[in-house]
Structure 1
Amino acid sequence: MAGHSKWANIQHRKGRQDEKRQRIWTRVVREIMVAARTGGGDVSANPRLRLAIEKAKAANMPADTIKRNVDKATGNLEGVTYEEIRYEGYGIGGAAIIVDTMTDNRVRTVAEMRHALSKHGGNLGTEGSVAFQFKHCGQLIFAPGTSEDQVMEVALEAGAEDVLTDPEGAIEVVTLPADFEAVKNALEAAGLVAEISEVTWRSENSVSLSGDEAAKMQKLLDILEDLDDVQNVFHNAEFED
């Protein structure tokens, strides 16, 4: 089966994430607090909190820091209350953008979003203006050379929706958000560890950008990523070599 993603773009995206790893603690703390506030502090009964704590441990966050933020969110300690707001808009060449934020001041956040987009060639859209171009799902991506037959067998048995392979040989497993954790655990139990594994907004179509347009789009994405209230940026731009 042919997938929409190219391995070079996947590696590019992972590289950009690695460059920004110093900011991951701030984002993970907010995710832990919102997950605990909305679903409770019991890790065994809160899948979203489990995933957030997993991210925190992967970023070498101390256990006491994790516990302190869970306690803040569940009312055991005084802390800031964050709310989740999703923004939709357009970037260079009509590329669609979804930005997930967590903020304690929505007036500040929307002003920063609007300014960043308009200053760098994009524009803020209304709710639903681009979301229809994306699928909310779990996504696990394996490097070329991974056994497609093994991934497919384990993933589908564990409840995955689909397994896609792109021309470079990268393998993408797509799940419902609720099934992501079970599929991920089954694959890892079989010795299959994904290069990227996340609950995400997966683009259903892509906009190819190259040269100056690609550079401008990357700058816009970097600006959005660097906003303090931004948790995740999703887009359907595909950067050509």
Structure 2
Amino acid sequence: MAGHSKWANIQHRKGRQDEKRQRIWTRVMREIMVAARMGGGDLTTNPRLRLAIDKGKAANMPAENVKYGIAKATGTLEGIVYEEIRYEGYGIGGAAIIVDTMTDNKVRTVAEVRHAFSKHGGNMGTEGSVVFQFKHCGQLIFAPGTNEDKLMEVALEAGADDVVTDDDGAIEVLTTPADYEAVKTALEAAGFTADVAGVTMRAENTIDMGVEEAARMQRLLDVLEDLDDTQEIYHNAAL
């Protein structure tokens, strides 16, 4: 199955994350704390916590920070309680945007998200207004030049739903959220390390944009990304 070109977008986002590593650590710490508070601090019985720790490792977060976050969330240390809230809206050219947040003050957060949308050419929608355009799934993306036949063989044998080759040669392995860890483990055992991996909201279709529209859309995404309470942003714009 063929997909759209997204490698340049991935590299651009990774570059921005490298520039803002401390902010990434803050977001991962929140995710670790929420996962530990909801499912406990035992990695063997808490898959969400395992995924959060994987994000921490990918961002080179010190192990001490991870241990502190788990201890704080499970009651060993006193801490702030975060609430997960999802906002949906439309960006430039009607592109769909999902903003996942964690906050200790939802009044502040909704005001900041609404302001970002309205000031930069978007519109904040109601719950359910755009989420139907995305699929909740496990996603592993491999660089162009990866051995597609071997990757597909291992992935499908491990339980992947699909293997998608994008226009630029990048390869996506798609799974159900429940099968993500098993497929990732099997691929790593076979020598395949994904450049991007996680459980995500994957756009079912993309919206193409011209240069000016893409620049405006990127500006809106950057502003939303820079909000303190933002955890993840998903969109369907082909920038």
**Per-residue deviation, residues 113-136 of structure 1 (Å, max 9, x unmatched):** 000100000011001100010001
**Per-residue deviation, residues 128-180 of structure 1 (Å, max 9, x unmatched):** 10001000111111111111111111111111110011222211100111111
Counterpart CA distance in 1 for 2:223 and 2:97 is: 13
Tell me, yes or no, if the aligned pair for 1:180 and 1:199 is still in contact at 8 Å. yes
The equivalent residue for 2:168 is 168
**SS in structure 2 opposite 1:60?**
coil
Amino acid at match of 2:199: V
Counterpart CA distance in 1 for 2:69 and 2:6 is: 38
**How has the CA–CA distance of structure 1 residues 220 and 194 changed in structure 2, closer, same or farther, with 3 Å as cutoff?**
same
The equivalent residue for 1:105 is 105
Unpaired stretches in structure 2, ≥5 consecutive residues: none
**How has the CA–CA distance of structure 1 residues 67 and 7 changed in structure 2, closer, same or farther, with 3 Å as cutoff?**
closer
Counterpart CA distance in 1 for 2:20 and 2:136 is: 24
Does residue 78 (structure 1) correspond to residue 78 (structure 2)? The answer is yes
**SS in structure 1 opposite 2:3?**
coil
The equivalent residue for 1:7 is 7
Amino acid at match of 1:67: K
Tell me, yes or no, if the aligned pair for 1:14 and 1:196 is still in contact at 8 Å. no
The equivalent residue for 1:87 is 87
The equivalent residue for 1:192 is 192
Counterpart CA distance in 2 for 1:207 and 1:17 is: 24
Identity across aligned pairs (percent)? 76
**Per-residue deviation, residues 180-209 of structure 1 (Å, max 9, x unmatched):** 111111111111011111111100011111
Tell me, yes or no, if the aligned pair for 1:134 and 1:204 is still in contact at 8 Å. yes
Amino acid at match of 1:195: D
Counterpart CA distance in 1 for 2:175 and 2:152 is: 12
Counterpart CA distance in 2 for 1:84 and 1:71 is: 20
The equivalent residue for 2:127 is 127
Matches of residues 1-150 of structure 1 in structure 2 within 5 Å? 1-150=1-150
Does residue 231 (structure 1) correspond to residue 231 (structure 2)? The answer is yes
**How has the CA–CA distance of structure 1 residues 145 and 87 changed in structure 2, closer, same or farther, with 3 Å as cutoff?**
same
Counterpart CA distance in 1 for 2:214 and 2:148 is: 31
Counterpart CA distance in 1 for 2:59 and 2:15 is: 16
Unpaired stretches in structure 1, ≥5 consecutive residues: none
**SS in structure 2 opposite 1:27?**
helix
Counterpart CA distance in 2 for 1:195 and 1:62 is: 20
**How has the CA–CA distance of structure 1 residues 22 and 62 changed in structure 2, closer, same or farther, with 3 Å as cutoff?**
closer
**Regions of 4+ moved over 6 Å:** none
**How has the CA–CA distance of structure 1 residues 138 and 184 changed in structure 2, closer, same or farther, with 3 Å as cutoff?**
same
Counterpart CA distance in 1 for 2:105 and 2:3 is: 39
Amino acid at match of 1:201: M
Matched residues, number: 239
Could you tell me the TM-score, scaled by structure 1's length? 0.95
Tell me, yes or no, if the aligned pair for 2:17 and 2:24 is still in contact at 8 Å. no
Could you tell me the TM-score, scaled by structure 2's length? 0.96
**SS in structure 2 opposite 1:75?**
coil
Q: CA RMSD in A?
A: 1.3
Query: How far is 1:77 from its partner?
Result: 1.1
